Amino acid sequence: MSTGGLPNVVIVGGGFAGIAAAHALRRAPVRATMLDRRNHHLFQPLLYQVAISALSPGDVGTPIRTLLRKQHNATVGLLEVTGVDVTNRQVRVAGDADEVQAVPYDYLVLATGVEQSYYGHDEFAAFAPGLKSLTDANAVRSRVLRAFERAEVEIDPSKHRDLLTFVLVGGGPTGVEMSGALVDLTRLTLKADFRRIDPTTTRIVLVEGGPRILPSFAEELSQKAAERLRRSGVEIRTGKHVTLVDAEGVVVDGQRIRSRTVIWTAGVTPSPAGKWVGAPTDHAGRVLVSPDLSVPGLPNVFVVGDTAHLEQDGKPLPGVAQVALQQGRYAGKLIASRVAGRPAPPPFRYFDKGNLAVIGRNFAILESGRVRMAGFLAWCVWAGIHLSFLPATESRFVVLRKWYWMYLTKQLSSRLIGDTPPPGASSDATTRTAARSVS
Amino acid sequence: MSTGGLPNVVIVGGGFAGIAAAHALRRAPVRATMLDRRNHHLFQPLLYQVAISALSPGDVGTPIRTLLRKQHNATVGLLEVTGVDVTNRQVRVAGDADEVQAVPYDYLVLATGVEQSYYGHDEFAAFAPGLKSLTDANAVRSRVLRAFERAEVEIDPSKHRDLLTFVLVGGGPTGVEMSGALVDLTRLTLKADFRRIDPTTTRIVLVEGGPRILPSFAEELSQKAAERLRRSGVEIRTGKHVTLVDAEGVVVDGQRIRSRTVIWTAGVTPSPAGKWVGAPTDHAGRVLVSPDLSVPGLPNVFVVGDTAHLEQDGKPLPGVAQVALQQGRYAGKLIASRVAGRPAPPPFRYFDKGNLAVIGRNFAILESGRVRMAGFLAWCVWAGIHLSFLPATESRFVVLRKWYWMYLTKQLSSRLIGDTPPPGASSDATTRTAARSVS
């Protein structure tokens, strides 16, 4: 990838931070090169809606090329970055011997985000998919729908309980929003679809290791969310740890909960960006960046978003979309200033616009400055904000229309199971047979 | 699955024929049991639009449960049928020892359709996916989009040719519609997305073994379609056979065409329904049914749709959606009559409403009775008919809106590549490396 004489800014990762960085370089005299191993930007906050069949993958994923189509100084490469050579200023990428091996940079923005973490228990992954990618969301969707399908044809009614028990590990926004949405799926949508089972008898268990769900919210709001979930039938177990996940379910503090569908939203681990550039990291592996988001000692290398660690007012910034967006934009603007020979902007400062979570239809909690809200009005704010942040104009219409449709008919429109069961699916006959034959 | 005292009609396959049969039994005093290994009905005629990113899987697939949700005498089972025990009148299904093993029937409707056929060369499948299922369509979509992505980052320009050459094997409606749509994808949609390659230089080759493309149409229309495709740059090779497909491309009558993206729409093979019931079949394996669509000697077993062979006016009926729909409906009505003790309807007779194919935006060919049309007006008819046949009301709106959007913006909305490259993908670095290391 030639730089055409202009300074080459390489951005790794097309998430919120990376896209914001690229957009901030729109008018700068640079060549911006966006590298991602996936061809799409993902609107993570709505990913759980794909998992419960309310939205299609195309509604929350937008090709990165589409987002940068009109930015003529930007090039997009579908490449997997494997490391950084800070001495020779180039990014190493995976590929055959005859393919591109490295991409040179003058400025580097690492916006590589986080991955699902099973806290050292990667063997749980086969039984409890996470919710970080479209593949994850499709896997969760297939498992959830297959559980009902299998219960419908199961002869032995004692097995219905296992099939109709869903365990969500992790009481953060994704786990909470997913459990609220699962209640709606069973109560409103699937109710009329089955003849032999009653989907409304589904048991949903939400397990959180900390003392309360949604710890990033004020205690009062987290309580209201918990009350709302309990009223709609979700069992919440706080202060409990999942010590085992297998084909039969989970073990929570020594107690077995039999379930064929376990979803893991309990933790994340940062990308290896810190290792790539040999930067100091926190205990989790997040890069301890300078106040201008650059790597200490490497003033032309920036780390932004979830994979960066920066403290503000004595507390580390949270790994949320707003922080990523603002940091990406800051890094882009800083590079634009430096290239143009303008003075650098003041150190990065996060402006907290607030915090929102939705608990099923019509109910959300909202916290912004001194404002704290819980209920339908907060839900409207949530819907409005999410719609306005979806990147493609068209997606916004589609999502709006789907929600409207859902409202009118209580039907979810994307209830498709892929042709082949997911590998390691506990609800898959082949796997279960295999597991038995070795036990 | 209990029959509740009423006669149990088991329908295997939720395609056009199976769904039509179930709907025809709506008011009959029976229990209808629909079995399918997939949870969705597929609107096959628009599947190629998923493959070229114009539509999402959810637009052409509808859960079978949704289609039968209001039909209270119908039960749906996500089960894979493995055989039929005609003596004990039960359908065998795949499953664990503790799961349902067989479903008893009083009447049986086999609507199991056809599968992709590589004419004994199953080894081609890894390099040339077909277009029969949503999985196929997603695989083709990923390959097509990945080919452009790889060309964009490919250093060696001599490889661009291979990456930007698409070969379609089979000149029937799917191959023709797909090649026309591929032209539009490269010319209208992808043009502005890339910086280093020019997608409009894409080479599209359509190979057909017979003397002309679209042999089911009048020669005059098939010529017009060929002219239209040639004008838009598609190379058509009729009377040519593909003798080899591998990671490097295809060999057509001894001549190698280098390509990384080969799509196979050349043939189909019927389901094993004939073997299940021990019925006489034609050379391909289609069941030679009686004039009332029952299996000779088994008056309570019916075979309908693509897996049945019935001659009308000296010619076998074609394997198209209209025949399947009409046969399914006939079988359902016949069973309803018999259960009610009413006289049987006259033998099945197919009413041909006409034949349609679309060749890119704005151009279609149409043949109905003595009417023959080619051009924009025929395209409007095509669009109208397809919209009116999509089963879910909502899908119709979505598809209409997507088409309208495409028209206004020339943008395709569903251009997502899955996270993992398809197994055996010739455009996948890992596979190619592996192939090299063994050669």
Least confident of A415-429, B270-284, B382-396: A415-429
Window 309-368 of A: residues touching B by CB (8 A cutoff) are: none
Residues B193 and B277 in one domain: no
B217 occurs within a structural domain: yes
Structural domain including A281 reads: 8-37+79-116+268-340
Test A77 with B153 for CB contact under 8 angstroms: yes
Q: What is the mean pLDDT of residues A164-187?
A: 94
DSSP structure class, residue A259: -
d(CA B128, CA B143): 10
Could you say which of A38, A69, A397 has the minimum Cβ distance to residue B419?
Answer: A38
Domain boundary among A308, A340, A372: A340
Provide the shortest C-alpha distance from residue A85 to chain B (in Å).
19
**Residue B14, pLDDT score:** 96
* Distance linking the first and last C-alpha atoms of chain A: 54
Model confidence band, residue A430 (pLDDT cutoffs 50, 70, 90): very low
Angle at the Cα of B138 (from B12 to A33), degrees rounded to 5?
A: 165
Residues A227 and A293 in one domain: no
Provide the shortest C-alpha distance from residue A65 to chain B (in Å).
6
Instruction: Count how many pairs of residues, chain A against chain B, have C-beta atoms within 8 Å.
Output: 152
> Least CA distance to B138: which residue of chain A?
A418
Tell me the pLDDT tens digit for each residue of A208-217: 999 999 998 9
B320 occurs within a structural domain: yes
Tell me the pLDDT tens digit for each residue of B92-104: 999 766 667 899 9
d(CA A65, CA A78): 10
d(CA A8, CA A104): 8
Provide the shortest C-alpha distance from residue B414 to chain A (in Å).
5
Test B66 with A417 for CB contact under 8 angstroms: no
> Does the pTM exceed 0.90?
no
d(CA B368, CA B349): 17
Interface membership of B421 toward A (CB under 8 Å): no
Burial classification of residue A27, based on how many CB atoms lie within 10 Å of its CB (0-12 exposed, 13-18 middle, 19 or more buried): exposed
Tell me the pLDDT tens digit for each residue of B192-219: 889 989 999 999 999 999 999 999 899 9
DSSP structure class, residue B356: E
Q: What is the mean pLDDT of residues A405-411?
A: 55
Test A417 with B100 for CB contact under 8 angstroms: no
A186 occurs within a structural domain: yes
Test B65 with A193 for CB contact under 8 angstroms: yes
Residues A141 and A253 in one domain: yes
Residues B167 and B203 in one domain: yes
Tell me the three state secondary structure of residue B347.
coil
Residues A111 and A162 in one domain: no
Tell me the three state secondary structure of residue A174.
helix
Residues A213 and A177 in one domain: yes
Residues A172 and A321 in one domain: no
Tell me the pLDDT tens digit for each residue of A315-373: 999 999 889 999 999 999 999 999 999 999 999 999 988 888 888 877 889 888 888 88
| From B99, B123, B149, B177, active-site residue | B177
B212 occurs within a structural domain: yes
Test A58 with B414 for CB contact under 8 angstroms: yes
Please report which helix (H) or strand (E) contains residue A142, including its range.
Answer: helix A134-153
Residues A196 and A326 in one domain: no
Window 200-229 of B: residues touching A by CB (8 A cutoff) are: none
Test A413 with B420 for CB contact under 8 angstroms: no
**Dihedral over alpha carbons A180, A185, A188, A192 (to 10 degrees):** -160
Provide the domain count of chain A.
Answer: 2
Test B99 with A194 for CB contact under 8 angstroms: no
Residues B305 and B156 in one domain: no
Which amino acid appears at position A334 of this protein? L
pLDDT over threshold 50, residue B424: no
Interface membership of A405 toward B (CB under 8 Å): yes
Provide the shortest C-alpha distance from residue B395 to chain A (in Å).
8
Residues B276 and B291 in one domain: yes
pLDDT over threshold 90, residue B376: no
Residues A242 and A134 in one domain: yes
More confident residue, A225 or B390: A225
Window 56-75 of B: residues touching A by CB (8 A cutoff) are: 56-58, 61, 63, 65-66, 69, 75
User: B161, B435, B150: which is closest to A79 by C-alpha?
Assistant: B150
Integer-rounded Cα Rg, in Å, for chain A is 23
Here the CATH number for the domain that contains residue B259 is 3.50.50.100
Could you say which of B398, B416, B420 has the minimum Cβ distance to residue A40?
Answer: B416
**Residue A419, pLDDT score:** 55
Here the CATH number for the domain that contains residue A293 is 3.50.50.60
| From A99, A123, A152, A177, active-site residue | A177
**Residue B60, pLDDT score:** 86
Provide the shortest C-alpha distance from residue A185 to chain B (in Å).
14
Test B394 with A417 for CB contact under 8 angstroms: no
**Can you say how many angstroms the Cα of residue B272 is from the centroid of all Cα atoms in its chain?**
17
Cα–Cα distance list, A371 to A45, A322, A353, A378 (Å): 22, 18, 11, 11
Could you say which of B63, B100, B146 has the minimum Cβ distance to residue A415?
Answer: B63
Sorted by sequence, the CB contacts under 8 Å of residue A382 that are 6+ apart come out as A356, A357, A358, A364, A366
Tell me the three state secondary structure of residue B115.
strand
Residue B123 a catalytic site member: no
B19 occurs within a structural domain: yes
Residue A311: how many other CB atoms lie within 10 Å:
11
Q: How many helices (H) and strands (E) does chain A have?
A: 13, 27
d(CA B396, CA B55): 12
- Residues of chain A with Cβ-Cβ distance to B146 below 8 Å are 78
Test A192 with B69 for CB contact under 8 angstroms: yes
d(CA A409, CA B173): 36
- This complex has an ipTM of 0.78
d(CA A40, CA A333): 23
**Residue B377, pLDDT score:** 80
Residue pair B289/B327 in contact (Cβ under 8 Å)? The answer is no
B74 occurs within a structural domain: no
**Dihedral over alpha carbons B364, B365, B367, B371 (to 10 degrees):** 90
Interface membership of A437 toward B (CB under 8 Å): no
> Least CA distance to A69: which residue of chain B?
B193
A131 occurs within a structural domain: yes
Residue A108's φ and ψ, nearest 5 degrees, are -130, 130
A138 occurs within a structural domain: yes
Domain boundary among A340, A374, A398: A340
Q: How many helices (H) and strands (E) does chain B have?
A: 13, 27
Interface membership of A388 toward B (CB under 8 Å): no
Q: What is the mean pLDDT of residues A204-211?
A: 97
Test A66 with B145 for CB contact under 8 angstroms: no
Residues A223 and A143 in one domain: yes
